[in-house]
Amino acid sequence: MTNEKNESDARSDFVRNIVLDDLKSDKWGGRVHTRFPPEPNGYLHIGHAKSILLNYGIAKEFGGKFNLRFDDTNPLKEESEYVESIIDDIKWLGAEFDDRLYHASDYFEQLYEWAVQLIKDGKAYVDDLSAEEIRQYRGTLTEPGKDSPYRDRSVEENLDLFQRMKAGEFPDGSRVLRAKIDMASPNMNLRDPVLYRILHAPHHRTGNYWNIYPMYDWAHGQSDSIEGITHSICTLEFEDHRPLYNWFLEQLGVYHPQQIEFAKLFLTYTIMSKRNLIRLVEEGHVNGWDDPRMPTIAGMRRRGYTPAAISDFCGRIGVAKANNLVDYGLLEFSVREDLNAHAPRAMAVLNPLKVVIENYPEDQVEKFDVPDHPQDRSNTETHKVPFSRVIYIEREDFMEDPPGKFFRLAPGREVRLLKAYYITCTDVIKDEDGNVVELRCTYDPQSRGGRSPDGRKVKGTLHWVSAQHAIPAEVRLYDLLFTKENPSEVEPGKDFTSNLNPQSLQVLTNCLVEPSLAKARPGDQIQFMRQGYFTVDPDSKPGALVFNRTVTLRDTWKKIKKKG
């Protein structure tokens, strides 16, 4: 690498190499200008984050500019809610577009004029064929298409009809404007693509002004040209559209950005298709776009994934030319790394089991120091956790009849309560149905702070909360949204929703957390010791805390390769 990039996490990939080469050859006069061009027809997902961070990262690393532009050409599918969520998500990711927020709809007038220019040059015509007929005339990959009978209309007739399309004289679907390129081209995109359709539909920004709307392909490349984009970075499926975009820009004789295609991100056990994500929301399979199980940025943010973790993940997966499927565990690895470094530790009992320490004085309360960041030796911050005679431990930390490898609490067995005392279970109390409802224990006053009084060892260390001090909380545990690596692999007659994981959300309503969390606010992140990393949900209120489990503690991702 050259020394343009000297940050420790400097990234290198084929797109950045192209930018570097262009800077060396002075192709763009030293300029680097990228953009992220979403269609506002859904919320952004983690795949979009890859594209945003690539475009923004390049602009930032090379001292260039980054635009946000909405490619808002389809009024039927677009909504302001999506626009707002997209802006929020991009800002949250840290991709700064400053005042460079644009819309393809800002260019509708210019695009119209350019279409008129094509008509005048004999390069576009109004076609009266129906959508179905256009499809039939288009041919197939192995057979050439057929010319429309309207292809040779005069320039005057085309101009007149197109102007009347714009004026709203014709019903939806009755006519289109098409480019006149080549109905026999081996590239289907060049077989006289549609440029404009008639649509008497209000647009979220231009209202009822337009009765015709440009197709995405007609708007996208020209919008990049208008904005002076140098590198139009897009995903692989646009490779076949590049010749078309080139053709448009050449016919119009306007500024011509360079298009570069990279591979989309696909993740195991989830989906990226906006159409299918919309179905999950609309059919109620999840609780909205920001459901923490969704692969959306809004969902991941609510779950507690951080911008730093998402950026780290995108750095690890890199940018390549070939599509591949990335293990969801790699994303969790990045989240865990970030939260391990930043989330303070605390104790929470998710499934409480009452424990009475019979030899502990009735009215006594002691406060123990629990380190906030035990993973970081240089950080000595601690917080106080009260201890008293009645505590709660995790139900699964007790077994009446434990198998060989169970090192936690059992009748007659001694364990350590984290940072508090050694306790020994002396009695088990059950209800009429035989369920364990309470344990009786004794403690060793000599083991204060959880230290061994005489060198004797215990194998288990349990977290706990003091009954009279603990705060009730709801905890939401999440699992993968789908049961299949590739959710679109389905049995005949079924669709991807048949692969939804019925266990993806588990809500625990009887949890108890230590009192230091009383003031926890939405977005706060904590490691509940032995349980995982948790983030306070926006539903949370003082006195009615709600935590999302962001990620479990243990690495399920074994094959991780550290960054070089």
Binding site for ligand ATP (CB under 6 A): 37-39, 41, 47-48, 50-51, 234-235, 264-265, 272, 274
Shortest approach of ligand ATP to residue 291 CB, angstroms?
19
The rounded distance, in Å, linking the Cα atoms of 357 and 321 is 63
In the bound state with ligand ATP, the residue whose beta carbon lies nearer, of 172 and 237, is: 237
Give the chain's count of helices (H) and strands (E).
12, 27
Q: Which residue is nearest to ligand ATP (CB)?
A: 47
The rounded distance, in Å, linking the Cα atoms of 30 and 241 is 27
**Tokens encoding 362:** 């009735």
Shortest approach of ligand ATP to residue 476 CB, angstroms?
26
Shortest approach of ligand ATP to residue 89 CB, angstroms?
12
Residue with tokens 């990711």: 93
3-state secondary structure at position 448: helix
Instruction: State the DSSP H helix or E strand holding residue 113, giving kind and residue range, or none if neither.
Output: helix 108-120
**Tokens encoding 277:** 């994500």
The rounded distance, in Å, linking the Cα atoms of 96 and 35 is 11
Single out the residue of 287, 303, 293 nearest to residue 522, CA to CA. 303
**Tokens encoding 81:** 């809610």
3-state secondary structure at position 445: helix
The one-letter amino acid code at 523 reads G
**Tokens encoding 207:** 């209202």
The rounded distance, in Å, linking the Cα atoms of 471 and 543 is 8
Shortest approach of ligand ATP to residue 235 CB, angstroms?
3
- The answer to whether 262 and 236 are in contact (CB under 8 A) is yes
**Tokens encoding 61:** 């690393």
In the bound state with ligand ATP, the residue whose beta carbon lies nearer, of 37 and 292, is: 37
The rounded distance, in Å, linking the Cα atoms of 348 and 524 is 15
In the bound state with ligand ATP, the residue whose beta carbon lies nearer, of 120 and 275, is: 275
The rounded distance, in Å, linking the Cα atoms of 366 and 443 is 14
3-state secondary structure at position 226: helix
The rounded distance, in Å, linking the Cα atoms of 346 and 531 is 10
**Tokens encoding 219:** 């708007």
